[in-house]
Every structure is written in C-alpha cells, then in structure tokens.
Amino acid sequence: RASAIRTLMSGGGTAVNAWLSSDSPYIAEALSHAGFHSVTVDLQHGMFGVDGAIALLQAISAGPAEPFARCPDHDPAVIGKLLDAGAYGIICPGIDTPAQAEAFVSACRYPPTGRRSFGPARALLYGGPDYTDEADRTVMAWAMIESAPALEAVDAIAATPGLDGLFVGPNDLALALGQRAGQVPPPTEVEQAWVTILEAAHRAGIYAGTFCANGEIAARLAALGYDFVTPGNDLALLRAGARLALRAAQAA
Ligand code: 3PY
Ligand code: MG
C-alpha cells in the first residue's frame, strides 16, 4: 500500500497529524476515523511501551489514517520493531548531529542502503505483499530538531541522504533556548527556529513537520509552508473539548 501522506505532501498539500499519548486503542481508532491524515503513537512521552504501541498501531489502521510512531530514543532495535509492527513513519527525537541522523535513517532502510533487519511481521499485513520491495520508498524517516546543537547543524542534518523530513519539537527547543516549555504562543526564539528549520528542510528538498500546541498555531505554520502539522496531542484535544462543553453547560 502506498503512503497517502507522501502523495499528499509531494503534491504540495499539508498533512495534519494526530498525536497519541494515551494507552487506548479505542482513542487511537477514533482519531484515525476523525479525519487526520496520520496518527502518531508517542513512545517517548506516551503512557505505554512497545507492546502497547503495537496494539495502538493496529487500532489506527482500523481507520483511514496512516500509522506513525515517535520512537523513545535512537535505539535501532526499537525502530525496527515499530516498522515491523506497521508504522509508515518514524519520528526520532533529539537528533543533534548528522551522524545521529545517518544512523537513524540506516535503522529505517533495508540493506544495502541501511541496516534494518528483515522480519516485517505485521507490516506485511498493513502494507501488503509488496511491502518489502517498497518499504524504503514508503516508510518516512523524520528527524526531530529540538536542541541548540541541532539548530546549529540543521543544514548538515537536512542533507542526510534518505532523510524525509525535519520535525520540530517546540517544547524542548524552548528549554534549550533558555525559555519555558509549553507557552502558548511559544517564545520568539521558537518562532524564529520554526522559520530557520522550515527553510533548511526545503533548501535540502525534504519536508518540514512540527508539533504545535493547538489548531490555530498549526494553521499558521501550515500557511508559513510546513508540510506536516500536529495540532496538539490527544489529551490537549480532550481538555479543550471538555473546557468548551463545561463552559456551554454552565452558561445559563
Ligand atoms: C517537543 O515539543 O519537544 C516535542 O517533542 C513535541 O512533543
Ligand atoms: Mg521533545
């Protein structure tokens, strides 16, 4: 099965990605049916481990959204397992150097290009019988830029052969730049980094993606040129909906 996200973005469209932090296949399935182009299971900060993530990827593929995963760190064994479980995109946190970017891409690609081991398991069920032949052209590798050294090396990281995109982590970036995380709107240092990272990605001919605190910021960054935006995580969506319903119920 081809990646609908790749098709959308290569035609100039912006993909809207949901971000799953809760350990609930039911919520994963609901988000997949809600109209997002992809749903990312977050193994770095989400309330589940690799075994839980496999059930979440299954639940996402019960709906139309493409299953993505943010791996917990740079471990190629975990990246391989998430790909074998059917993740069509891997977002890798804390890529600070071109060497780390190269190792990350290698973990996502079969030999002779990379070092991914053969054993596609559930990926064959999701991707179909041609999965192995197409995987290196289908699976997306996104490097997260979220530190001062990463910002410094952003052009060299973007030039990594086989890397599909740079993905901004605005909260870690805020901390790295001496600001507080979680500010809405983010500090000007992060606003500037958003422009720098977008330009570096597009200069290198790869995509630019980002996490955002909410839909308004996601819309603004999509208008700026971001190809892949994430309008808050599942808990942020739940809290925002709860706040609106409470306010409406108590308006009388
Ligand atoms: C960050 O903002 O640092 C992220 O990793 C997005 O969740
Ligand atoms: Mg982060």
User: Tell me: the pLDDT tens digits for 74-86?
Assistant: 999 999 999 999 9
Residue 171 in contact with ligand 1 by CB distance below 6 A: yes
**Ordered alpha helix ranges (H), the chain:** 4-10, 25-33, 50-60, 76-84, 98-108, 121-127, 131-138, 148-152, 154-158, 170-176, 188-203, 215-224, 234-249
Measure 247 CA to ligand 2 centroid, in angstroms.
31
pLDDT at 159: 98
Write down the domain spans for the chain: 4-249
Amino acid 104 reads F
Residues paired with 128 in a beta bridge:
none
Residue 186 in contact with ligand 1 by CB distance below 6 A: no
Average pLDDT for residues 188-206, to the nearest whole number? Answer: 98
Residue 211 in contact with ligand 1 by CB distance below 6 A: yes
Active-site residue set: 45
pLDDT at 172: 98
Element (H, E) at 20: strand 15-20
**Contact residues for 247 (Cβ-Cβ < 8 A; gap 6+):** none
Whether 59 shows a pLDDT value over 90: the answer reads yes
pLDDT at 72: 98
Tokens 């919520």 appear where? Answer: 27
pLDDT at 190: 98
Whether 252 shows a pLDDT value over 90: the answer reads no
pLDDT at 161: 98
pLDDT at 171: 98
Q: Which of 59, 69, 67, 6 is nearest to 36 (CA)?
A: 67
Residues paired with 22 in a beta bridge:
none
> Which of 43, 70, 172 gets mutated to test ligand 1 (max ligand atoms within 8 A of its CB)?
172
Measure 95 CA to ligand 2 centroid, in angstroms.
10
For residue 142, name the pLDDT band (cuts at 50, 70, 90): very high
- For this complex, say whether ipTM is above 0.95: yes
Burial class (CB in 10 A: 0-12, 13-18, 19+), 117: middle
pLDDT at 117: 98
Average pLDDT for residues 168-176, to the nearest whole number? Answer: 98
Ligand found nearest the CA of 232: 1
CB count, 10 Å around CB of 111? 10
Measure 95 CA to ligand 1 centroid, in angstroms.
12
From atom 6 of ligand 1, which residue's Cα is the shortest distance away?
169
pLDDT at 198: 98
pLDDT at 91: 99
pLDDT at 200: 98
Average pLDDT for residues 26-47, to the nearest whole number? Answer: 98
> Which of 41, 91, 168, 171 gets mutated to test ligand 1 (max ligand atoms within 8 A of its CB)?
171
Residue 46 in contact with ligand 1 by CB distance below 6 A: no
CATH superfamily of 4-249: Phosphoenolpyruvate-binding domains (3.20.20.60)
Which ligand 1 atom is at minimum distance from the Cα of 171?
2
> Which of 144, 166, 177, 194 gets mutated to test ligand 1 (max ligand atoms within 8 A of its CB)?
144
